Amino acid sequence: MRTINSQIAVGEHYHLYNRGVAKQVIFHDGRDYARFLFLLLFFQSPVGFTNLSRPTTSFVKRQTFNINPDIIEKIVKQRGVVLKALCLMPNHFHLIIQELKPVGISRYMQRALTAYAKYYHAKYRCNGHVFQGVYRVNHIKDNDQLLYTSAYIHKNPVDLGSYRKNYLDYPWASGLDYSRGNRWGELLVTADILDQFDSGEQYARWVKNTVAKEIVEALDDWEMCDV
């Protein structure tokens, strides 16, 4: 495996993955999930935030980050990446990201992972690595791979007992946004995938019936990118 950030191309889609060091849990409760979800959604551009605890608390209490629409519009206009799909699991996460500007993915991931590590260290009073140290990147080469990677990501919650049968209802993944309506507006772009189906329900049926895991694992050519 190679460090290959320089070969990430503008306009292309990538499957990104990282996990806790030694496969340890990195999301212990709802606040942890909400904090990282906020980073993934709102760090797509250089727009800064001075108090990340406030939107996190808002989401834990009311299921909304309560961010001014003008700020969201600014993020969308200035973003260097586009978030297309996500799934946060107890000890790892998966993303589909499109690079919009040179080194957009590198800057986005470094900013998000560093911010979460600082939060984690402060909350749990620990030191050392939170993530495994590098994130893995797989170039999504065509539309079929894009579709199957989305299904693979959205089926990840089947490994959680409480979501084995209703994995698309898992709140910390975008399967819910694809099947029932996008909670995040322009911060999560579903159209490239969802517009290929008549409805979210049809997409959900396709995900249920596809053997995405086998296909994606056969296609993956993981590369290691430094954080």
pLDDT of 213 reads 65
Average pLDDT over residues 30-47: 98
The domain segmentation of the chain, as residue ranges, is: 7-226
The class of domain 7-226 in CATH terms is alpha beta
| Res 43 pLDDT > 90 | yes
The tens digit of pLDDT for each residue in 82-121 reads: 999 999 999 999 999 999 999 999 999 999 999 999 999 9
Residue 133: what pLDDT? 75
Question: pLDDT: is 7 or 216 the higher one?
Answer: 7
**Among 22-26, 130-134, 193-197, where is mean pLDDT lowest?**
130-134
Of the two residues 104 and 5, the one the predictor is more confident about is 104
pLDDT at 159 (0 to 100): 86
Per cent of the chain over pLDDT 90 is 82
Reported confidence tier of residue 227, pLDDT bands at 50, 70, 90: very low
**Looking at residue 74, what is its pLDDT?**
98
Q: Residue 213: in which H helix or E strand, if any? A: helix 212-219
pLDDT in tens, 125-176: 998 899 987 899 999 999 999 999 999 999 999 889 889 889 999 999 999 9
Q: What are phi and psi of 50, to 5 degrees?
A: -95, -25
Confidence of residue 194 (pLDDT cuts 50, 70, 90): very high
Residues in CB range of 192: below 8 A, 6 or more apart = 84, 146
Q: Distances in Å between the alpha carbon of 12 and those of 15, 23, 85, 140? A: 10, 29, 14, 7
The pLDDT value recorded for residue 73 is 97
Residue 45, CA distances (Å) to 40, 41, 76, 83 in order: 10, 9, 7, 11
